[in-house]
């Protein structure tokens, strides 16, 4: 039950529809958090690297988790992966860090797929819910500039954009192809 609820809240079905189910991907998950996203892609990856400041370095089989800030990931490292995930991360980053990340994305080798999911603030209700959630859970004040920066700076690479209500959250999903 809990796992099904988590899948609905986080919109896994949308993200899974963004990828080719017959391909084995090498995945870089930026800001993977303590429950890495690879658990949903068990059958669809060659190797997985999750990066987050809140985790400890761990490695087993084809899975590597690194305690690292997103700013420390360079273009060369990103180019080692077919698929880059940025799930519920941008609203936690400073605008300058997002701009730096988008510059790196724009310089990646052609054919890379980047999937981004982040909350949006289409009205006072959704804005308040998102802010309260992160204030209580993460003890931080968030912003909603990430998706706006993607739309402004990655417009020509956006393959798919979906806005979806997931219970009390409203999120935007991007599939970006470099």
DSSP tag of 22: T
Q: How far is 146 from 137, CA to CA, in rounded Å?
A: 20
By the 8 A CB rule, do 75 and 128 touch?
Answer: no
The pTM of the full predicted model, rounded to 2 decimals, is 0.90
Share of the chain above pLDDT 90, in %: 50
Phi then psi for residue 118, to 5 deg, are: -155, 155
Rounded Cα distance between 113 and 100, Å, is 18
Query: Looking at the chain, how many residues does it have?
Result: 178
pLDDT at 73 over 70: yes
pLDDT at 132 over 80: yes
Residue-wise pLDDT tens digits, 77-93: 999 999 999 999 999 99
Q: What phi and psi values does residue 104 have, to the nearest 5 degrees?
A: -60, -45
| Tally of CB atoms within 10 A around 105 | 21
Distance of CA 30 to the CA centre of its chain: 6
Task: Indicate whether 5 pLDDT > 80.
Answer: no
What value does the mean pLDDT take over residues 101-124?
Answer: 94
Place of tokens 């936690």: 92
Query: Which stretches of the chain are DSSP H helices?
Result: 2-10, 12-17, 75-78, 95-106, 124-137, 146-153
Average pLDDT, the chain: 87
Domains of the chain (ranges plus CATH)? 2-177 (3.40.50.150)
Partner residues linked to 117 by β-bridges: 87, 173
Q: How confident is the model at residue 21, as a pLDDT?
A: 82
């Amino acid at each position: 039950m809990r796992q099904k609820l988590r899948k609905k809240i986080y919109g896994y079905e949308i993200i899974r529809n963004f990828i080719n189910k017959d391909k084995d991907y090498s995945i870089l998950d930026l800001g993977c958090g303590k429950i890495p996203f690879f658990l949903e892609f068990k059958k669809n990856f060659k190797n997985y690297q999750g990066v987050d400041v809140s985790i400890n370095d761990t490695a087993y089989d084809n899975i590597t988790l690194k305690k690292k800030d997103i700013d420390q990931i360079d273009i060369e490292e990103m180019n080692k992966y077919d698929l880059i995930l940025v799930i519920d991360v941008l609203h936690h980053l400073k605008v300058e860090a997002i701009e730096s990340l988008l510059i790196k994305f724009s310089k990646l080798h052609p054919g890379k797929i980047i999937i981004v999911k982040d909350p949006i603030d289409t009205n006072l209700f959704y804005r308040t819910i998102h802010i309260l959630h992160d204030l209580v859970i993460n003890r931080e004040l968030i912003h909603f500039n990430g998706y706006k920066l993607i739309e402004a700076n990655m417009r020509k690479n956006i393959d798919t954009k979906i806005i979806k209500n997931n219970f009390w959250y409203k999120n935007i999903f991007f599939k970006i192809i470099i």
